[in-house]
Structure 1
Amino acid sequence: MNRLKMVQTEGTKNMTKIQIALDGPAGAGKSTIAKQLAAHLDYVYIDTGAMYRAVTLAALEQGIDLEDGQQLGELMTSLDIRLTPGENGQRVFIGEREVTESIRSSEVTNNVSFVAKHAQVRSALVEMQRRLAESGGIVMDGRDIGTVVLPDAELKVFMTATVEERAGRRHRENVARGMESDLEALQAEIALRDKRDSEREVSPLKQAEDAIYLDTTDLTIDQVVLRLTELAEGVLK
């Protein structure tokens, strides 16, 4: 049995606190927005992307063939991933080792789509994600939250932005972290990842039929958080 875990109280779903599912392509601002929205609403933020990145990092470190679903499935049975809240956001651990920064490397970023396409990986992580969301009061972001993980979420939003804008955001993040960054290369990488995520056989990236479409290209973070807060309050009325 995999040992994926997160510190959170589970129980009967609290109908005064809803499930919020944010989906969209890489660089759409989901994680940044989800963190701030969760803090604003006093909800728990669950970064599903960090889970897939942690699996990818472990697979790369162990020299596992990222196209071999069976090997990745075997990895999942013993992988100990832990998510905990921290002062600067969610912290990610593999065993006792913190990998919060390591999972954001370009090597992990460029390979996570290969790992995420395998049913053996997705089924294990989806089970955990659903368990964490049972009690409500969560904001969860990813690529298949509204379509697969939480199909009954009370609020679903599909966030996107142009490839140019998303690459620019990632470029600015890299520079702020002191990392080397090539804007044109990022645009190509994001476009390729969009293609991989949208065309994979298992849980492809797509907008849920009942999700609200939100283009964030020309919106500030505060504007997006305000819009989502208004949508959440509308559901709770």
Structure 2
Amino acid sequence: MSKALVIAIDGPSGTGKSSVSKAVASRLGVSYLDTGAMYRALAWSCVDAQIDLDDAAAVAEHCRTFDLRMGMDPTAPSVGVGDRLIDAEIREDAVTSVVSKVATNLDVRANLKQRQRDLIADGAARTGGCVAEGRDITTVVAPDAPVRILMTASEEARMSRRSRQLKVAAESTRAQIVDRDRTDSTVSQFTTAADGVVTVDTSHINFRQSVDAVLQVVQEVIDGDPGLSTSAG
């Protein structure tokens, strides 16, 4: 029986991991999961419900019950709470500025990690594989994934990319990238590769080359394990 092709990709902000992960999943015809969007969705839901993000217990309780819905089609991924799609809202400054309060809540992380494992398994069962990207996917959420990659890039490259994406000043970009990474690193390891994790440095390569670099790693793993398959069923 063939094994599903699960590809776990970690990395700090601005490395290109989200756009590259979507492109890789699309090329392979498998599911895609943006785990960071799940934390953003919870932050949005807490703000919407007027829950104090500094009240760790209240945030954790809300996390256990909120109706998170993740669309895993890499060509049209979506994030919703109940019947409301919130893809745009979770990228706004109001969420970006507070998401670390949610992401560093250990009870929240335990709940969302299990949801992530379930979503990866479901997506892989439906499409034959799943590309899951985030902060600690290679080490905690899916440490047994056949393909585990850490995407890195220099701080200069990361800040430049995020400034272009968001059209914001360097000071704001630094706060969104460097400061958030420093905060998140207190509960998650995503700056150095664990044993068995392949590093892909995107500092000096473009988007297409980054996609090709990841696909090369995937192909090498597939070549070494004929049991792997991206065929659903």
TM-score bracket, normalised by the shorter chain, equals 0.7 to 0.9
Name the SS for the 1:188 alignment partner.
Answer: helix
Correspondence list, 1:5-154, <5 A = 14-15=2-3, 17-85=4-72, 89-134=76-121, 135=125, 137-154=129-146
2:213 aligned partner: 227
Matched, 1:169 2:161: yes
Name the SS for the 1:131 alignment partner.
Answer: helix
Deviation per residue, 1:139-160 (Å, 9 max, x gap): 0000000010001011111111
Name the SS for the 1:199 alignment partner.
Answer: coil
Query: What is the deviation of 1:205?
Result: 3.2
1:194 and 1:215 map into 2 onto residues whose CA distance is: 17
Name the SS for the 1:210 alignment partner.
Answer: coil
For 1:205, the aligned partner's letter is F
Quick check: 1:146–1:156 contact (8 Å CA) kept in 2? yes
Distance 1:156-1:88 versus aligned 2 partners, 3 A rule: closer
Query: What is the deviation of 1:174?
Result: 1.9
Quick check: 1:48–1:142 contact (8 Å CA) kept in 2? yes
Q: Which runs of 5+ in 1 are unaligned?
A: 1-12, 176-180
2:64 and 2:213 map into 1 onto residues whose CA distance is: 40
1:25 and 1:191 map into 2 onto residues whose CA distance is: 9
Quick check: 2:70–2:78 contact (8 Å CA) kept in 1? yes
CA RMSD of aligned residues (A): 1.8
1:178 aligned partner: none
For 1:26, the aligned partner's letter is S
Query: What is the deviation of 1:194?
Result: 1.5
1:70 and 1:233 map into 2 onto residues whose CA distance is: 44
- TM-score, L = length of structure 2: 0.86
Name the SS for the 1:121 alignment partner.
Answer: helix
1:182 and 1:144 map into 2 onto residues whose CA distance is: 29
Identity of aligned residues (%): 37
Matched, 1:205 2:190: yes
Deviation per residue, 1:15-42 (Å, 9 max, x gap): 1x41111001111111100000000111
1:153 and 1:29 map into 2 onto residues whose CA distance is: 21
Q: Which runs of 5+ in 2 are unaligned?
A: 224-233
Name the SS for the 1:217 alignment partner.
Answer: coil
